[in-house]
Amino acid sequence: MMRTYLILLGLLSLCGLCFSSECNAEFQENEDFPGTDIQHLYSPDAEHCQHLCTQHPSCQFFTFIRSDWTRDNRHFYCYLKSTPSGVPNKRAPLLGVTSGFSLKPCNPVPQPCLSKVYQNVDFFGADYQTLFTADYESCQRACTQDPSCQFFTFVNDVFTSDYMRYKCHLKFSWTIPRPPLVEGKASVVSGFSHKTQMGLNFDTACQGKLFHNTAIPGNSLQALPASSAEHCQMLCSAHPSCTFFVFIRESFTCNLKSNVNEMVTVAKAGVTSGLPERFCQLDNSWIKEALEDVDFQGSDIGFEYMDDAKTCQRKCSEDANCQFYAYASERVSNPDYWRRCYFKRVITMPAPPKVVKLANVVSGFTLKNCRRALHTYSCLNQIKITV
């Protein structure tokens, strides 16, 4: 009886992988899906919000607060939502909002292009470089050509502060899959989908430089969970301000560091340091390695029961929504978790930390993703099904 109950739980959880059997890409204008919020993020429009919902591991539908909202000062809020049934508990008419559904059930899962630009909208924060350009088109081209840039804000020629005019702010957000927590755990096997995209692809291959049993003190930029020194190197290579890194195997901590003037190394057992590589293709063979006694915690889409970790990794690689996984063998102390294969993912699309109204600026996104997104959008337009 207990086994049957657990299987039913697994099937219910697996519904998080599909939510609904139908692909519903339509927007519900001036309709609210009240309650059942799991997180709120910022988006410049409902389309971007829908893609955030699609990439969030547990989001099934959303409500976006538009710029014409008048009840309070909330604008550009993207409320991600979920229910056990996978559909909103309630719908209500409400001016100034747009609601819709995750595109996870769509085949192929659409890849966001994000070619629109937004007048009088500021993507606040996440700046790593500024330059002066003639117009917002030049600023967007600069963002598209820079591997680190995911979005931008351009200050036009009539901005209030004349010394800020023509300024192009290049901005960064993570595109590398990052498990929220990595820790050692006996009898658990974790790893990445073999199809996981780790940064941009380059024609020139390179190995990268690692310093084993070596630390680099100070100059901390950001600490992140990472599965290996190679994963940490990929994170450092993606971050525009990272000049070197330190990976601590015992805690699975990747310390990104920044100092353009000097790099002082000291011997330290169990620590690997290294340098980023930004204009060549790092060796990605580590992505296919299964990590024994390592648990990638959080960001679950759902789980299925499987006989071994190898099958778990294969199923994750076959699922377009899965970026990484964790498998609990029958040696795990709690039998309730035996043979569970957890599918996981995080948001890797360009995501401004805040979106606000600001006169005489123009914001937008890199166009790097538009070429590969063209095919999936074309397919999506052919298979739209409404509910």
Q: Is 290-365 a CATH 3.10.20.740 domain?
A: no
pLDDT, position 14: 42
pLDDT per position as a tens digit, 293-336? 999 999 999 999 999 999 999 999 999 899 999 999 999 999 99
Give every CB contact of residue 164 below 8 A, 6+ residues apart in sequence: 155
In the CATH hierarchy, which fold is given to the domain comprising 27-101? Hepatocyte Growth Factor (3.50.4)
- Return the percentage of the chain with pLDDT > 90, whole number: 82
Domain range 117-192, its CATH number among 3.50.4.10, 3.40.430.10, 3.90.650.10, 3.30.565.10:
3.50.4.10
Residue holding tokens 């699922």?
319
pLDDT per position as a tens digit, 73-94? 999 999 999 999 999 999 999 9
Whether the predicted pLDDT of 46 surpasses 90: yes
pLDDT per position as a tens digit, 227-281? 999 999 999 999 999 999 999 999 999 999 999 999 999 999 999 999 999 888 8
The 10 Å Cβ neighbour count of residue 146 is 17
Domain range 210-283, its CATH number among 3.20.20.70, 2.60.40.10, 1.10.260.40, 3.50.4.10:
3.50.4.10
Residue 2: Cβ-neighbour burial (10 angstroms; 0-12, 13-18, 19+): exposed
Decide: 248 and 257 in contact? Cβ < 8 Å.
Answer: no
pLDDT per position as a tens digit, 195-204? 887 766 777 8
Give every CB contact of residue 269 below 8 A, 6+ residues apart in sequence: 213
> Which long-range CB contacts under 8 A does 156-164 form with residues at least 24 apart?
156/360, 156/361, 156/362, 158/360, 159/359, 159/360, 159/361, 160/359, 160/360
pLDDT per position as a tens digit, 343-376? 999 999 999 999 999 999 999 999 998 875 544 4
pLDDT, position 21: 62
pLDDT per position as a tens digit, 280-289? 888 888 999 9
Domain range list for the chain: 27-101, 117-192, 210-283, 290-365
